[in-house]
């Protein structure tokens, strides 16, 4: 089931002209020079869409990484960002959000294979940085409708408090 969801995500990316050229985040160790390698680009959305939780890929993963091999291990560090569509827990509306991983870092021991797939590490990091209780106003770009209703209720209550006070003043006169 989950596999099918991820397939849909890849198909979605395939509409993009560039998508055909790009394989997953597989690194060929022979291509990494001694001084390291800088990689920047875009990749298919690495997370499976979790429709039951209202999480949908809304674009491609952007990565900016430095890679190197040292002491029988591959290290990589840099930043990631992944646009997603989430569902607000307050008003239940969908909204766009960018998952940012400003300090992505992995260190993997090498056991022979000539390619290392960074996708599982990247996927895990994106999932860890998804907001657990997404609110549509978290980026400050919009006002949550659920909160708007709450504010309106408070206003009404405050107004009725004042009118009660006014009434009291009148009665005391």
Q: Which is nearer to Zn ion, 46 or 134 (CB)?
A: 134
- Rounded Cα distance between 106 and 138, Å, is 28
Considering only 61, 91, 122, 126, the residue that binds Zn ion (CB under 5 A) is: 91
Our finding on whether 88 is near Zn ion (CB under 5 A) is: yes
Nearest residue to 15 (alpha-carbon basis) of 65, 64, 62, 57: 57
Question: Minimum Å distance from CB 147 to Zn ion?
Answer: 7
Our finding on whether 144 is near Zn ion (CB under 5 A) is: yes
How many residues of this chain bind Zn ion (CB under 5 A)? 5
Question: Minimum Å distance from CB 87 to Zn ion?
Answer: 9
Question: Minimum Å distance from CB 169 to Zn ion?
Answer: 39
Q: Where do the H-state alpha helices sit in 15-144?
A: 119-128
Q: Which residues are CB-neighbours of 18 under 8 A, at least 6 positions away?
A: 42
- Rounded Cα distance between 125 and 146, Å, is 30
Our finding on whether 45 is near Zn ion (CB under 5 A) is: no
Length of the chain: 173
Q: Which is nearer to Zn ion, 91 or 116 (CB)?
A: 91
- Rounded Cα distance between 106 and 114, Å, is 17
Q: Where do the H-state alpha helices sit in 23-144?
A: 119-128
**CB under 5 A: which stretch of 59-67, 71-79, 113-121, 144-152 binds Zn ion?**
144-152
Question: Minimum Å distance from CB 33 to Zn ion?
Answer: 48
- Rounded Cα distance between 36 and 22, Å, is 21
Our finding on whether 86 is near Zn ion (CB under 5 A) is: no
Binding site for Zn ion (CB under 5 A): 88, 90-91, 136, 144
């Amino acid at each position: 089931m989950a596999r099918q969801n991820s397939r849909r995500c890849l198909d979605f990316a395939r509409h993009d002209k560039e998508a055909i050229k790009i394989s997953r985040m597989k690194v060929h160790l022979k291509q990494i020079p001694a001084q390291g390698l800088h990689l920047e680009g875009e990749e298919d959305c690495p997370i499976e869409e979790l429709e039951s939780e209202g999480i949908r890929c809304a674009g491609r993963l952007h990565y900016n990484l430095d890679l190197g091999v040292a002491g029988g291990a591959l290290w990589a560090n840099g930043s990631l960002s992944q646009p997603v569509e989430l569902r607000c827990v307050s008003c239940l509306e969908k909204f766009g959000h960018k998952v940012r991983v400003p300090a992505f870092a992995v260190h993997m021991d090498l056991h022979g294979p000539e390619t290392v797939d960074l996708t599982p590490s990247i996927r895990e990091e994106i999932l860890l940085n998804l907001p657990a209780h997404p609110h549509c106003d978290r980026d400050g770009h919009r006002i949550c409708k659920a909160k708007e209703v709450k504010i309106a209720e408070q206003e009404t209550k405050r107004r009725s408090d004042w009118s009660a006070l006014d009434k009291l003043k009148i009665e005391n006169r």
